[in-house]
Structure 1
Amino acid sequence: MYYVNQNIKDVVRIFPPQNRYGYLRLDMNENPEGLPQQFVDEVLEEFTPEYLATYPEPDVFIQKYAAFVKVKPENICITNGSDAAIRYAFEVFAEKGSSVVTVTPSFEMYGVNCNMLGLVHKPVPYSSDFTISIDRIIEAIDDTTDIIVLLNPNNPIGPNFTLEEVTRVISKANQVGAVVIFDEAYHYFCKSSFLDLIEKYDNVLIFRTFSKLFSLAGCRLGMVISNTTIIEYLRKARPSFEVNALALKFGEKIIDHPEIFDALIKTAELGRSYLLNSLEKNHYEYYPQSGNFIFIKPHIDSNMLACRLMNNKILVKTYGNDLLKDYIRINTGSVKVMEQFMNALLEADR
């Protein structure tokens, strides 16, 4: 019998649903409308047969992105989405059998990677009022801990951490020799970032992605921003050609067109404002928090509502755990998208 890694054999995976094209996709925190069609067409015109036949060359994108976020190119490691960033960071900075502290619920791939790599996942649960205790996070950090993960804002529940709170976590991490990851996939939706901490501390990593605000979930473009020593370790762990040419070219062109960035921000803000006002007007209990997602407590069973909405070609997220089982989560979009959702919600939720 051939060998199979026992960690891989035992891991439980729930893969994302398929056949989502043609639906209003509010279930996975994507931009439901994407980038402007004219912009997409203009970028695609640059894809010649020669360009596609050449291995990707990431330096142009890295230099542009470094200037965009105001760091040096050597502070950036690009990855095949944030999923790959998690894997590399865990492989490099966590010894087998060590612990990884996160909050729960959170992005599932942190727990999945712990299981696959033989690490001990130590999730700190949210309270029933959707708050998280920084004291409980610090209490969970001990001599077995190699990595602490804080999402800023968290997904799926989105409160932000304060600078004072994260400074306490970093201090405790330094005491036990651990690194701290700040996953900032949604930071553009809350205008909060701990990016400047990479210059003050030598054990801080920032994760970013082009999947959310920048609407490139289908291209898979993520990055880690940190000090040069950590970045060098991560680059050694990657494949030679980590990010594809399509993703790099679209990333470059978005940075080249700041008006695209501004329009995406404005569209997100207007749509969110419309949705919150509509929920208030119709007397819904909701938790806006931060990010591009909102929890809504429907009047009927959440799973029943999700089925009714799916029959109306609208996808929303439901949960099985006790904290979130009575809610649906949707990602926000333009005013047009939020109007479509609200009309469907009011029809189905009765």
Structure 2
Amino acid sequence: MVAARKAVQNMDAYRPPTEGREDKLRFDFNENTLGCSPKVNEALVRALTDRNLSAYPEYSIFREKLARYAGLAPEQVTISNGTDGIIKLVMDTFVEKGDEVIIPVPTYTMFKFYAQLADAKITEVLYEKDLTFPARAVLDSIRPGVRLVVLVNPNSPTGTTISDEDIEAAVKKAKENGALVLVDEAYFQFYGKSSRALIGRYENVIVIQTFSKAFGLAGLRLGFAMSDAANIAAMDKDNSPYGVSTLAIVGANAALDDLEFVEQYAAEVRKNRPEMAGRLVALGLKVYPSSANFLLVNFGSKEKCKLVCDTLKARGILIRNRSSDPLLEGCARMNVGTGEQNRRLLDELGKILPDTGGRAQTGQALLFDMDGVLVDVSQSYRKVIARTAEYFTGKGMSAQDVQDIKQAGGYNNDWDATEALIVKMGGKAEKKAIIDKFQEYYLGKDGVSGLIKNEKWMLGRKNLEALAKRYALGIVTGRPRAEAEYALKASQCADLFSVVVAMEDCPAGKSKPDPYGIRLALEKLGCAGRAYVGDSGDDMKAAKAAGLMAIGIPPAGMANGADAKAISAVREKLVSCGADKMIETLDGLEQALGPSD
């Protein structure tokens, strides 16, 4: 026997459980659970001719079409045999023996697989304990000698995302150290955000996507890379000239002609994802936030996780046991499918988990407003309201001016409250101009940090963990979702909240004091509500209208700058709007809640 290369001898074997899946509900590999567009099947049937099958494939016309889809030039795009082929192509083209490759883990196994095959030095950076991206640790790991940094967004198997700011920070530092950043966006359609725009600004970014997930073409094996033209030219030199089959090209071409099918499926998954998470929480399970087409669920122990996976398999349902991954002991990953498919899985889980009786171990929900309750925004949102109003009126604004507007109620979000303050002070401005200036002050612009950096999380993790043992926790906020996720990530408590209802989730006219958002959160959690904690009259009205205990609290940070009379006025307002209990700080929440029913 001739010995294999040492890199092959030393690498870990990868043996995915892909056999015997044909007649099962396949929730284990993040595939499209409906299959591909009918137009793909029709195109493949037409393509099955002797002439097509006997000829080598041609790619130029398809690459032009793919480039138009990606919004890039044809010379900025290349294809390979699935994203696995693209990952191998990147390693083969750019990574020399001994080069360092940074891989945040847990993540997709094939990055380590091909890095080992390239005989690279692999540095694994552990995700945070709540499975959020370890931004600081990744940046600290980028140094001379690093050749490639891998970022998976959303990540698999966790489903968690990486912010635009963290991605660009990694790209900048990698550029300073002569390294590439590979951004894997296999689940782009379920998340909706891409780093493609960085390609025009940085030559060291490679973004990869696939036809295997949302497009439903995993069996045809086609992935593609997008990057600076010089990088793509180098990859094409290393690429097999006929590595992608004619049938894969035909199928992908037809899939691009039916993007409506793909978007409808992705939209259904996005709609079903929080509902499925809520049902799982109601079964007493811990579910991590996800922006992909799957959920990561903690069953409590690796033994119980294996039992659940094996029992489901015997009943014709496949989910993926991830207990062997770092940080994921006791966890399984499962697809989000159609409503009917999800109900089948959930019904079987209800039978398998008799200790919950199919009901929530935490039989009630505890819901929070975010701004002024969980997050001190006195030095962020409230200052932004004042500065924006000052910009459009030319008049100074006090903290009390902002408080008066907030307590008056009836405003869907802080943009509306800012507009009301401008009008109250005799000013006038277009709503879009107000929003643009507001976001500039809040998020920052042109290298100037925004006031978002001043926010402070108000409830410690230990206290939240104690509450999570008694209640299913959720948030109903008027924040845009991206900004709510930013605050949760910074808190390192995101995993303790099973549902977040944000501004985008409430139709026009259905923001607080309407109870729509609270009722939506309870529906997603699948259990009754115990209480809603808020700092405004609208919060109290919404809680009462939804049938929950209304717990009022003065806005966080107010005591630092308001006199006793102002704080007393806030308390009176909250009580007059229906507060059942008043607390001064979140330390008094346990006592206000009393014993669980």
TM-score (norm 2): 0.57
Equivalence for 2:493: none
Distance 2:331 2:12 in 1: 24
More off after superposition, 303-312 vs 154-163 = 154-163
What's the offset of the Cα at 1:280? 4.0
Q: Is the 8 A contact 1:298 1:349 kept in 2?
A: no
Q: Is the 8 A contact 1:268 1:292 kept in 2?
A: yes
More off after superposition, 21-30 vs 41-50 = 41-50
Counterpart selection for 1:338 from 342, 360, 363: 342
Code of the aligned partner of 1:114 = A
Instruction: State yes or no: 1:187 paired with 2:191.
Output: no
Q: How does 1:1-80 map to 2 (within 5 A)?
A: 2-17=2-17, 18-36=19-37, 38-47=38-47, 48-80=49-81
TM-score (norm 1): 0.95
What's the offset of the Cα at 1:3? 4.7
What's the offset of the Cα at 1:236? 0.5
Equivalence for 1:292: 293
Code of the aligned partner of 2:333 = R
Code of the aligned partner of 1:329 = R
Distance 1:177 1:258 in 2: 37
Code of the aligned partner of 2:313 = M
Counterpart selection for 2:317 from 295, 314, 326: 314
The alignment partner of 1:196 has SS state of helix
Q: How does 1:91-102 map to 2 (within 5 A)?
A: 91-102=92-103
Distance 1:223 1:178 in 2: 21
Distance 1:199 1:278 in 2: 43
Distance 1:183 1:20 in 2: 26
Distance 1:324 1:188 in 2: 25
More off after superposition, 39-48 vs 336-345 = 39-48
Q: Is the 8 A contact 2:296 2:332 kept in 1?
A: yes
Equivalence for 2:477: none
Distance 2:246 2:272 in 1: 32
Equivalence for 1:278: 279
More off after superposition, 144-153 vs 250-259 = 250-259
The alignment partner of 2:196 has SS state of coil
Code of the aligned partner of 1:79 = S
Equivalence for 2:85: 84
User: Which structure 2 residue ranges, 5 or more long, are not aligned?
Assistant: 355-597
More off after superposition, 103-112 vs 157-166 = 157-166
What's the offset of the Cα at 1:40? 4.3
Determine which structure has greater relative contact order: mean sequence separation of CA pairs < 8 Å that are 6+ residues apart, divided by chain length: 1
The alignment partner of 2:165 has SS state of helix
Equivalence for 1:246: 247
Distance 1:128 1:230 in 2: 35
Equivalence for 1:325: 329
Distance 2:96 2:133 in 1: 27
Q: Is the 8 A contact 2:41 2:251 kept in 1?
A: no
How many residue pairs match? The answer is: 349
Structure 1 pair 53–294 and aligned structure 2 pair: CA distance change class (3 A): same
What's the offset of the Cα at 1:299? 6.3
What's the offset of the Cα at 1:271? 3.0
Distance 2:262 2:319 in 1: 26
Distance 1:227 1:41 in 2: 34
Equivalence for 2:176: 175
Runs of 4+ residues deviating >3 angstroms:
38-41, 280-283
Code of the aligned partner of 1:5 = R
Distance 1:144 1:26 in 2: 40
Code of the aligned partner of 1:324 = L
What's the offset of the Cα at 1:49? 1.8
Distance 2:54 2:342 in 1: 41
What's the offset of the Cα at 1:320? 1.7
Q: How does 1:153-164 map to 2 (within 5 A)?
A: 153-164=154-165
Cα-to-partner distance string for 1:91-137 (whole Å, 9 max, x where unaligned): 11112101000101111111111211110110100122212321100
Code of the aligned partner of 1:235 = D
Root-mean-square deviation over aligned CA pairs = 1.6
The alignment partner of 2:160 has SS state of coil
Q: Is the 8 A contact 2:96 2:118 kept in 1?
A: no
Q: Is the 8 A contact 2:95 2:118 kept in 1?
A: no
Equivalence for 1:143: 144
What's the offset of the Cα at 1:268? 1.8
Distance 1:349 1:299 in 2: 12
Distance 1:324 1:8 in 2: 27
Q: Is the 8 A contact 1:26 1:332 kept in 2?
A: yes
Q: Is the 8 A contact 1:61 1:252 kept in 2?
A: yes
Distance 2:96 2:80 in 1: 21
Code of the aligned partner of 1:306 = C
Cα-to-partner distance string for 1:41-69 (whole Å, 9 max, x where unaligned): 42233122211211111122212211112
Distance 2:281 2:123 in 1: 37
Counterpart selection for 1:347 from 348, 351, 354: 351
What's the offset of the Cα at 1:262? 2.6
Structure 1 pair 41–162 and aligned structure 2 pair: CA distance change class (3 A): closer
Distance 1:87 1:45 in 2: 31
Q: Is the 8 A contact 1:182 1:204 kept in 2?
A: yes
Structure 1 pair 296–320 and aligned structure 2 pair: CA distance change class (3 A): same
Distance 1:230 1:67 in 2: 19
The alignment partner of 1:296 has SS state of strand
The alignment partner of 1:247 has SS state of helix
Query: % of aligned pairs identical?
Result: 29
Code of the aligned partner of 1:339 = R
Equivalence for 2:126: 125
What's the offset of the Cα at 1:322? 5.5
